[in-house]
Chain A
C-alpha cells in the first residue's frame, strides 16, 4: 500500500460547491454583523460577500458554473415569486382602482423614461425597448426578503408587495413581446413574432393555474402539518420550474401566477412559514451570494454615465406617479415617498431576463447587457437598504432590538 491510496493527491481537486459553501458561511456571518452593528439588512452582506470574494472583486472564489447557478436561481426565485403571489390580494384592486392606476402609470413611466434615455444615447429602437421592459420590474427577491426580515406590515408594505407582483408580470410579458420584435427585426417571420409570446403567456398562465389548484387541494388535506407541507411545496416548485423550462415557458411567470391564484382562490387566510421553511431560506441566501459571485461590473467601467443615468431616470419614473396619485389612493405623501423608493431594487428577476436576452443576441450581451448588469449590482446592494429605510420611515417595521 502506498500513501496515495488513502491520502489525497496534490494539488487537491476541489469541487466548486465547496467555494459556494465557504462563501455562504462567510456571507451569513457578515450578514449577522451588519444587522447587529449597523442595523443594515442581511442581504447586503450576502450579495456583498459574493461580490467581494468573487471574480468581480478579490477573485478568491470562482464563479459558479452557469448551469448550477441557473438551477439555484430558478429554484430560489421560484420560491420567492410564489411567496410574493400568495401574499397579494388581487381583490384589493377592485376595491381601490387607484392602486391599479398607480401601478400601470408607474410601469408605463418607467418604460418610456428608460426608452427615451436610451434613444438619446443612440441605441436602436428595438434594443431600447427590450431594456426598457426589463427596467419595469422591481426585485421580488429583495422585496419579499426584506419585508420578511423586518417583519413589516402596513399600507406601504402591502402596496409594495402588490405593485411588485404586478410590475414583474408586466415586465416578463412585455419583455417577451419586445424580444419577439427583436427576432422579427433579425429576420424571423411575422407568424413567430406573434405566436411565440402568445404561447408563452397562455401556456404559463395555464400551468400557473393548474399549479395553484393542485397546491390548494394538497394544502387542504396536508396543511395541518406545516413541515410536511413545506417539503411537498418545495418539490412542486422544482417540478414547475423544470417543466416550464422543458416546455420553454417562463418559470417566473408560472410561479408568480400560481401564488396569485392560490391567494385569490382561497377565501381563508393562511400564513406560510417564511420562504416555506428553512430549506427555502437557505436557497434564498445562497442565491444572493451566487448573484454576488456572478456580478459583472464591466458596464460601469465602459459606460458609467449611462448606468448612473439609467438608475436615476428609472427611480424618478417610479417615484413620481406614486407621489402624484398618493392622495387618491389613500396614502400620505410620506408613505408615497417610502413606497416609491422601495420600488427601486433590481435583482435576480432582472438578471435572468438580461441573461436570456444576451443568450439569444450576442451583440446585446457585449453591449447594453453589460450596462444592465452593472445597474443590477448597484441596485442589488443598495436595494435592500432602500427598502428597509423606506419601511422604517413609514413606521411599518417590527424589528427585534439586538
Chain B
C-alpha cells in the first residue's frame, strides 16, 4: 500500500483528541463500559466525535477543526458535558489523567472491532497494557514539506509538551517516581520513537514504501511516533501528551503547540538538523521522569537548564504569535502550570492528603466532570 497524498489544510488549524478513563462509582477502578457509553451517546446530537479505543474501559473524544482557544475550549466543554451526562445516567465516572493508578492490565477487555483484535493478537499483553490515556494534537500544515519541517523543529520541544501535560505518576498501585509513566508503555512498542530524519515528502514516501515492502507496517497507523504526519488530514499529530486532568488544560497545551508552530513557520528560526536528535531521548526521559524539574539540554548550544525555565523562555519568545492567535488565556494557563505544577503534582498532593488511590481517582473524576 502506498502512502496517500498529503491533503491540504488551513495552516495552524488545530484539532484535539483526548482518551478518557471510564470508572465505576464504587471503588473507582476502570470499568469496561465503553459500549454502554457509546450506545447512550449515539442517541444524542453532539459536537465533534466520540469513539471507542483499544480496551473497553477507554473512550476517545475528538474536536472538529478549530482555529483558536475560545472556540476550542467551548467545543471541548460541550463534548465533556455530553460524556459526563451519559456517565451520570449510567453510574459511570469519567476522568482525565495518563494512567489509571491501580487498574490491573490483565483485567482489561479488548473493544470488539477488527483493528483492535488484530492489534491485540499482534502485541499480546502490550495491547492490554496500552490502557493508557493520551492527548493528541493536530496542527494543520500548508504542504507536506512544511509538515516535515515543522515536525522536526517541534521535536526539540517534545519535552515541553510532556512536562506540561504529565499526569501519570501512579501505575499498578504504586508511585513510579515518574511524572509521566504513561510514555514508558508507549516506548515498549517496536515502532515507537521519532520519525526518520527526512525533510522532503518524496523521501518520506520512499521511506514509507521501503517499510511497507519489509512487511513490518501496513499504514501510517502502525507507527507510534512521538510526532507523526497525518497525510489524510494534512496535519502533523503531536502524540506525547498525557490526557490532562481538565479540558481547559488540554486546550491550553494545544494552543501552546499552535503558537509555537506559528513561531516556527513565520520566523523560521533555523533549519532542523539530524544532530538535534542527539539529546532527544535524554531530554524526553528527563521530562517523563522529573516533569517541569527535569533537565533540558539545548541541542545546539549544549546549555543545561530546567524545563520550567526553558518553557518560561519559550512563552516570551512566542508571545506575539500567541496574541495573533487570540491565545492569551491559554498562555496564562501555561504560566499557571509552571507556577503551581502539572497534573502529576496535583495527583501526588491529593494522594498525600487522601492516603488512598480510590479517593484520588474519585477527586480526579470530579475535577474532570465538573471542571
Q: Which of B27, B39, B40, B109 contacts A269 (CB 8 A)?
A: B27
A271 contacts B358, CB within 8 Å?
A: yes
CA of A330 to CA of B44, assembled, Å: 12
Pick the contact of B90: A268, A330, A395, A396 (CB < 8 A).
A330
Q: Which residues of A contact B40 (CB under 8 A)?
A: 330
Q: How far is the CA of A186 from the CA of B89 in the complex (A)?
A: 47
- B358 proximity list for chain A (CB < 8 A): 268-271
Given contacts A270-B358, A330-B40, contact A92 B91 (CB under 8 A): yes
Q: Are B28 and A330 in contact (CB under 8 A)?
A: no
Contact (Cβ within 8 A) B89 A269: no
Which A residues touch B39, using CB under 8 A? Answer: 330, 332
CB nearest to A263 among chain B residues: B26
Q: Verify B89–A330 contact, CB threshold 8 A.
A: yes
B24 touches A153 (CB 8 A): yes
- In the complex, what residues of A have CB within 8 A of residue B359's CB? 268-269
Are the C-beta atoms of B27 and A96 separated by less than 8 Å?
Answer: no
Task: Return the contact of B91 from the options A158, A269, A270 (Cβ within 8 A).
Answer: A158
CA distance A68 to B362 in the complex (A): 43
Using A89-B91, A95-B89, A155-B90 as known contacts, say yes or no to A330 and B362 having CB atoms under 8 A apart: no
Chain B residues whose CB sits within 8 angstroms of the CB of A42 once the complex forms: none
**In this assembly, does A87 line the interface, its C-beta being within 8 Å of a C-beta of chain B?**
yes
Residues of chain A lying within 8 A (CB to CB) of residue B16: none
Given the complex, which residues of A lie within 8 Å of B27, measured CB to CB?
269-271
**CA distance in complex: A269, B358 (Å):** 7
Tell me if A331 is interfacial: C-beta within 8 Å of chain B: yes
A398 on interface, CB distance cutoff 8 Å: yes
In whole angstroms, how far apart are the Cα atoms of A153 and B24 in the complex? 8
Q: In the docked arrangement, what's the CA distance between A154 and B91, Å?
A: 10
Residue B32 lies at the interface, judged by CB distance under 8 Å to chain A: yes
A-B contact count (CB 8 A): 52
In angstroms, Cα B25 to Cα A330, docked, is 17
Give the complex CA separation of A395 and B90 in angstroms: 17
Identify which of residues 65-103 in chain A touch chain B, using a CB-to-CB cut-off of 8 Å.
87, 89, 92, 95-96
Query: Does A395 lie within 8 Å of B91, measured CB to CB?
Result: no
Please indicate the chain A residues that have their CB under 8 angstroms from the CB of B24 in the complex.
Answer: 153, 158
With A and B bound together, what is the CA distance between A152 and B40 in angstroms? 21
Most buried by A among B40, B91, B109: B91
**Distance of A87 Cα from B26 Cα, bound (Å):** 7
Inter-chain contacts of A268 with B (CB < 8 A): 358-359, 362
Tell me whether B327 is interfacial, beta carbon within 8 Å: no
Contact B31 A95 (CB under 8 A): no
Interface 0/1 of A385-401, CB less than 8 Å to B: 00000000001101000
Interface residues of A in 155-206 (CB under 8 A from B): 155, 158
Residues from chain B with Cβ under 8 Å of A92 in the complex = 25, 91
Q: Say which residue of B26, B91, B107 sits within 8 Å of A96 (CB atoms).
A: B91
Mask of B1-40 contacts with A, CB within 8 angstroms, 1/0: 0000000000000000000000011111101110010011
B26 contacts A271, CB within 8 Å?
yes
Q: Nearest chain-B residue to A328 (Cβ)?
A: B43
Report A-chain residues with C-beta under 8 Å of the C-beta of B304: none
* A343 → B minimal CB distance (Å): 18
Does A269 lie within 8 Å of B90, measured CB to CB? no
A269 touches B25 (CB 8 A): yes
B91 touching A95 by the CB < 8 A rule? yes
Q: Please classify how large the interface on chain A is, using the bins under 10, 10 to 19, 20 to 34, 35 or more.
A: 10 to 19
Taking A269-B27, A395-B109 as contacts, is the C-beta distance between A154 and B33 under 8 angstroms?
yes
Chain B residue contacts of A271, Cβ below 8 A = 26-27, 358
B51 close to chain A: CB less than 8 A: no
Residue B88 lies at the interface, judged by CB distance under 8 Å to chain A: yes
Contact in complex: A269, B362 (CB < 8 Å): yes
B258 to chain A, nearest CB (A): 37
Residue of B whose beta carbon sits closest to that of A267: B362
* A153 proximity list for chain B (CB < 8 A): 24, 29, 31-32
Q: Quick one: CB contact mask for B92-128 with A, threshold 8 Å, 1 for yes?
A: 0000000000000001010000000000000000000
Nearest Cβ distance between residue A269 and chain B, in whole angstroms?
Answer: 5
Contact residue among A96, A154, A332 (Cβ-Cβ distance under 8 Å from B31): A154
Which A-chain residue is minimally distant from B86 (CB atoms)?
A330
B-side contacts of A154, CB under 8 Å = 31-33, 36
How far, in whole Å, are A270 and B25 apart by their CA atoms in the complex? 10
Q: Shortest Cβ distance from B275 into chain A, in angstroms?
A: 50
Q: Which residue of B lies closest to A88 (CB)?
A: B26
* Residues from chain A with Cβ under 8 Å of B91 in the complex: 89, 92, 95-96, 158
Contact with A along B31-68 (1 / 0, CB 8 A): 11100100110000000000000000000000000000
CA distance A269 to B32 in the complex (A): 19
Asked whether A96 lies within 8 Å of B89 as measured between CB atoms, the reply is yes
Q: CB distance A155 to B33 under 8 Å?
A: yes
* Residues of A with C-beta under 8 A to B29: 153
List the A residue with the shortest CB-CB distance to B358. Answer: A269
A95 proximity list for chain B (CB < 8 A): 88-89, 91
Q: For A331, what are the chain B residues with a Cβ–Cβ distance below 8 Å?
A: 36
The interface bits of chain A over 277-294 (1 if a CB of B lies within 8 angstroms of the residue's CB, else 0) are 000000000000000000
Is there an interface contact between A96 and B90, defined as CB atoms closer than 8 Å? Answer: yes
Q: What residue in chain B is nearest A87 (Cβ atoms)?
A: B26
A398: B residues at CB distance < 8 A: 107
Q: Which of A89, A96, A332, A395 contacts B25 (CB 8 A)?
A: A89
Measured CB to CB, the nearest residue on chain A to B30 is A153
Measured between beta carbons, the chain A residues less than 8 angstroms from B32 are 153-154, 395-396
- Can you identify 12 A-B contacts, CB atoms within 8 angstroms? A87-B26, A89-B26, A96-B89, A153-B31, A154-B32, A269-B358, A271-B358, A330-B39, A330-B40, A330-B89, A330-B90, A331-B36
Besides the contacts A89-B91, A95-B89, what 8 more A-B pairs have beta carbons closer than 8 Å? A92-B25, A92-B91, A96-B88, A96-B91, A153-B31, A269-B26, A271-B358, A330-B90
Q: Which 7 A-B pairs have the closest CB atoms?
A: A271-B27, A95-B88, A92-B91, A269-B358, A96-B89, A330-B40, A155-B36
